[in-house]
Amino acid sequence: MMQFGIFSVGDVTMDPTTGRTPTEHERIKAMVAIALKAEEVGLDVFATGEHHNPPFVPSSPTTMLGFIAARTERITLSTATTLITTNDPVKIAEDFAMLQHLADGRVDLMLGRGNTGPVYPWFGQDIRQGIPLAIENYALLHQLWREDVVDWKGRFRTPLQGFTSTPRPLDGVPPFVWHGSIRSPEIAEQAAYYGDGFFANNIFWPKEHFIRLITLYRRRYAHYGHGTPEQAIVGLGGQVFMRKNSQDAVREFRPYFDNAPVYGHGPSLEEFAEETPLTVGSPQQVIDRTLTFRESFGDYQRQLFLMDHAGLPLKTVLEQLDILGEEVVPVLRREFAAGRPAEVPGAPTHASLLTARPSEPAAG
Amino acid sequence: MNLVVVTAGLTQPSSTRLLADRLAEATARRIEEAGGAVEVRVIELRDLAGDIANTFVTGFAGARLRDVIDAATSADGLIAVTPIFTASYSGLFKSFFDVIGNDALVGKPVLIAATGGTARHSLALEHAMRPLFAYLRAIVTPTAVYAASEDWGGDGDATGVLSDRVARAAGELAGLLTRRHPAQNAPEAFEDVIPFEQQLAALRP
């Protein structure tokens, strides 16, 4: 099954229409309310970012996701992204395995390098080693989840002798890993090597660039023997704002766009929407635009939308999720399923990975 | 071969564009005299001022600017001309070269030129323009051409009249272009990805 969900950056941004900035406490509680709403309206995934500087609140994703896990039943909890460069891979292994148990397997994670320069020195690392850190740290994380006792020596972390990461992954199945990237072919190659997912956060860049990255990932996924290029596990971003009438959507969203921390004060909303997946309009326009992703990138497994940034008030975000869940995603599910080749897998879940696990020899 | 002219003049018409046209015409003539064929494309950065500024804000170049960047990057040679503002190249000129990428001009023959109100700023070519292109690892012609207002008339000075300097620089650029292999227009296809085993092996202590 293809998955639809939302991902949050967790920015604390002034609402440009009222001049009011939420407190950190309000924003954290709003993120939780948004995650609960996502489950209520039938979405499959909620993912939180990880940041270590203002104006962002989510520095501790597994704490937040653990709290959400306790208050939800079905939704998969994920990250966008978990910093594989500056977090200790041992602590990632422990934290996410613990979360996986608490959430009964409704957990995966997306790894990224992070794009805030000072975070590297704050955590004792060197940004020039970004790619080597991502490679070595993930190799260790991968091993910690698959081998009960690990002897390990690397460049960036103190060696391990006879170390067991606890708790062991639920049912012996490690959380599925997505590798997120905006520009680096090395990360597409890494995802392909392990047969992990590749998430192209395409929301800020033109699609031609991502077609090249995803094509590389698919080609190398097949090269490493995980399946055909079409069977590689691809995730994409999206960014939408909807009202019944598209003019109303544009009018309401424009001040948020114009002042958005990431791209505000630059191109017009119309220019940006032309170049990137941003769609501001009616639910039907969002459906039509999202369906074009398949033409550009092939059948894929996970679609995440960015819904709650740039100072949009919680009430508006919750309304947006209602529209997304009620009017958009059901149609997308149906349309994406139609014509999807049988050999293209759905998004990996704990249940699907458990089924696919090579059977162990009977004890005896 | 393809010759791309990047000009950062702001007025219409501008003396910067005028100088750019003189250089392009002289270079093309020298190439044709040597038996080559040349296609010239002129890029007026003024028309792209908004697109360039937006690139700083969004982190990516829009379609129109991408087309121009591709043209400059895949050109066999470049003529880059700026007005001198506040002792250096104009901000718009620098901004364009900020967004095209550090490796975009490696090994590319470039003729640099500038205009100004007075000849007192001519060394901005040597103290600002040439280091910029050295950083980008382009091959800059030994002669850089500066045109002050007074150069558009009069008898010139010890370095000769403007047209002499234009001819000398154009000859140098044409020489670089006719003696080298044509540019490879290589779009980023990620064909040359480093195999992962190799990346892992490089990290083994």
CA–CA gap between residue A89 and residue A97 (Å, rounded): 12
Which tokens sit at A59? Answer: 């520095």
Cis bond upstream, residue A167 (ω within 30): yes
Q: Would you place residue A359 in the very low, low, confident or very high pLDDT band (cuts 50, 70, 90)?
A: low
Contact (CB, 8 A) for A69 and A77: yes
Contact B63 A266 (CB under 8 A): no
Task: Read off the amino acid at residue B116.
Answer: G
The confidence score (pLDDT) of residue B38 equals 96
Contact (CB, 8 A) for A135 and A97: no
Which tokens sit at A155? Answer: 């460049």
The string of pLDDT tens digits covering residues A12-53 is 999 999 999 999 999 999 999 999 999 999 999 999 999 999
Contact A216 B193 (CB under 8 A): yes
DSSP-derived 3-state class of residue A50: coil
Q: Which residues in A lie closer than 8 A to residue B53 (C-beta atoms)?
A: 266
The string of pLDDT tens digits covering residues B94-136 is 999 999 989 999 999 999 999 999 999 999 999 999 999 999 9
CA–CA gap between residue B21 and residue B14 (Å, rounded): 11
Strand-strand pairing, A76-79 and A45-48 = parallel
Apex A304 CA angle, A303 and A307, nearest 5? 140
- pLDDT of B159 > 90? The answer is no
Which tokens sit at B149? Answer: 């207002």
Q: Which of A83, A16, A9, A113 is closest to A311 using CA atoms? A: A16
Q: How many domains does chain B have?
A: 1
Buried b / exposed e along B27-38 (16+ C-beta atoms within 10 A) = bbebbeeeeeeb
Q: Would you place residue A364 in the very low, low, confident or very high pLDDT band (cuts 50, 70, 90)?
A: very low
Please give the helix or strand (H or E) that residue B61 lies within, else none.
none
The confidence score (pLDDT) of residue A361 equals 55
For B94, the domain range is 2-203
Which of B54, B60, B188 has the CB atom closest to A206's CB atom? B60
Which tokens sit at A265? Answer: 């004060």
Of all residues in chain B, the percent with pLDDT exceeding 90 is 77
Region A146-166 average pLDDT: 97
Residue showing tokens 């392990």: A194
Region B70-89 average pLDDT: 97
Q: What is the mean pLDDT of chain A?
A: 95
Q: Would you place residue A223 in the very low, low, confident or very high pLDDT band (cuts 50, 70, 90)?
A: very high
Contact (CB, 8 A) for A119 and A83: yes
Q: Which residues in A lie closer than 8 A to residue B205 (C-beta atoms)?
A: 153-155
Chain A: residue nearest B197 by CA?
A193
Q: Which residues contact B23 (CB under 8 A, 6 or more apart)?
A: B5, B79, B81, B111, B113, B145, B166, B169, B170, B173
Contact (CB, 8 A) for B79 and B133: no
**B47-76 residues touching A, CB cutoff 8 A:** 50, 53-54, 56-60, 62-63, 66
CA–CA gap between residue A208 and residue B76 (Å, rounded): 24
Please give the helix or strand (H or E) that residue A178 lies within, else none.
strand A176-181
Q: Which residues in A lie closer than 8 A to residue B62 (C-beta atoms)?
A: 206, 267, 271, 275
Q: Is the CB of A216 inside 8 Å of chain B's CB atoms?
A: yes
The confidence score (pLDDT) of residue B103 equals 93
CB pairs under 8 A between A and B: 75
Q: What is the mean pLDDT of chain B?
A: 92
What's the CATH code, domain A3-356? 3.20.20.30
Residue showing tokens 């590798």: A179
CA–CA gap between residue A129 and residue A155 (Å, rounded): 11
Q: What is the pTM of this model?
A: 0.88
Least confident of A123-127, B179-183, B196-200: B179-183
Q: Where are the beta strands (DSSP E) in A206-361?
A: 234-242, 279-281, 302-306
Contact (CB, 8 A) for A141 and A126: no
Region B16-36 average pLDDT: 96
Which residue would you say has higher pLDDT here, B192 or A89?
A: A89
The confidence score (pLDDT) of residue A207 equals 85
Residues in chain A, how many? 364
The confidence score (pLDDT) of residue A74 equals 98
Q: Is the CB of A266 inside 8 Å of chain B's CB atoms?
A: yes
Contact A189 B195 (CB under 8 A): yes
The confidence score (pLDDT) of residue B12 equals 84
The confidence score (pLDDT) of residue B20 equals 97
- pLDDT of B182 > 70? The answer is no
Q: Is the CB of A206 inside 8 Å of chain B's CB atoms?
A: yes
What is the least distance, in Å, from the CA of B138 to any CA of chain A? 25
What is the least distance, in Å, from the CA of A173 to any CA of chain B? 24
CA–CA gap between residue A35 and residue A46 (Å, rounded): 6
**A149-168 residues touching B, CB cutoff 8 A:** 153-155
Q: Is the CB of B193 inside 8 Å of chain A's CB atoms?
A: yes
Task: Read off the amino acid at residue B50.
Answer: G
Chain A: residue nearest B53 by CA?
A266
Contact B203 A185 (CB under 8 A): no
Contact (CB, 8 A) for B167 and B156: no
Q: Which of A180, A187, A179, A182 is closest to A216 using CA atoms? A: A187
Which of A212, A262, A266 has the CB atom closest to B190's CB atom? A212
The confidence score (pLDDT) of residue B181 equals 59
The confidence score (pLDDT) of residue A313 equals 98
- pLDDT of A205 > 80? The answer is no
- pLDDT of A237 > 90? The answer is yes
- pLDDT of B75 > 70? The answer is yes
Residue B150 CB neighbour total at 10 angstroms: 13
- pLDDT of B196 > 70? The answer is yes
**B150-189 residues touching A, CB cutoff 8 A:** 188-189
Chain B: residue nearest A273 by CA?
B62
Q: Is the CB of A263 inside 8 Å of chain B's CB atoms?
A: yes
Q: Would you place residue B59 in the very low, low, confident or very high pLDDT band (cuts 50, 70, 90)?
A: confident
DSSP-derived 3-state class of residue B173: helix
The confidence score (pLDDT) of residue B95 equals 98
Cβ-defined contacts of A56-62 (< 8 Å, 24+): A56/A9, A56/A10, A56/A11, A56/A12, A57/A10, A57/A12, A57/A24, A57/A27, A57/A28, A57/A31, A58/A8, A58/A10, A58/A28, A58/A31, A62/A95, A62/A96, A62/A98, A62/A99
The string of pLDDT tens digits covering residues A59-114 is 999 999 999 999 999 999 999 999 999 999 999 999 999 999 999 999 999 999 98
The CATH code of the domain that includes B21 is 3.40.50.360
Domain boundaries, chain A: 3-356
Chain A: residue nearest B62 by CA?
A275
Chain B: residue nearest A202 by CA?
B60
Q: Which residues in A lie closer than 8 A to residue B201 (C-beta atoms)?
A: none
The confidence score (pLDDT) of residue B189 equals 60
Please give the helix or strand (H or E) that residue A265 lies within, else none.
none
Which among B52, B58, B188 is the top mutation candidate for probing chain A, defined by the most A β-carbons within 10 Å of its own β-carbon? B58
Contact (CB, 8 A) for A30 and A308: yes
- Cα-based torsion angle of the residue sequence A79, A85, A90, A91 in order, rounded to the nearest 10 degrees: -50
DSSP string, A71-93: T-SSPEEEES-EETTTS-HHHHH
Give Cα separations from A27 to A23, A126, A240, A248, B156 (angstroms). Answer: 6, 31, 20, 26, 69
Contact B193 A185 (CB under 8 A): yes
What is the least distance, in Å, from the CA of A108 to any CA of chain B? 23
Please give the helix or strand (H or E) that residue A319 lies within, else none.
helix A314-323
Residue showing tokens 């599910």: A333
CA–CA gap between residue A353 and residue A333 (Å, rounded): 22
CA–CA gap between residue B184 and residue B75 (Å, rounded): 9
Region A130-151 average pLDDT: 97
The confidence score (pLDDT) of residue A358 equals 73
Contact B57 A265 (CB under 8 A): yes
Which tokens sit at A190? Answer: 């890494």
Q: Which residues contact A267 (CB under 8 A, 6 or more apart)?
A: A275, B50, B54, B57, B58, B62
The string of pLDDT tens digits covering residues A280-325 is 999 999 999 999 999 999 999 999 999 999 999 999 999 999 999 9
Least confident of A51-55, A262-266, A329-333, B33-37: A262-266
Q: Would you place residue B184 in the very low, low, confident or very high pLDDT band (cuts 50, 70, 90)?
A: low
What is the least distance, in Å, from the CA of B1 to any CA of chain A? 27
Of all residues in chain A, the percent with pLDDT exceeding 90 is 89
Contact A189 B196 (CB under 8 A): yes
For residue A245, with 0-12 CB atoms within 10 Å meaning exposed, 13-18 middle and 19 or more buried, which class applies? exposed
Of all residues in chain A, the percent with pLDDT exceeding 70 is 98
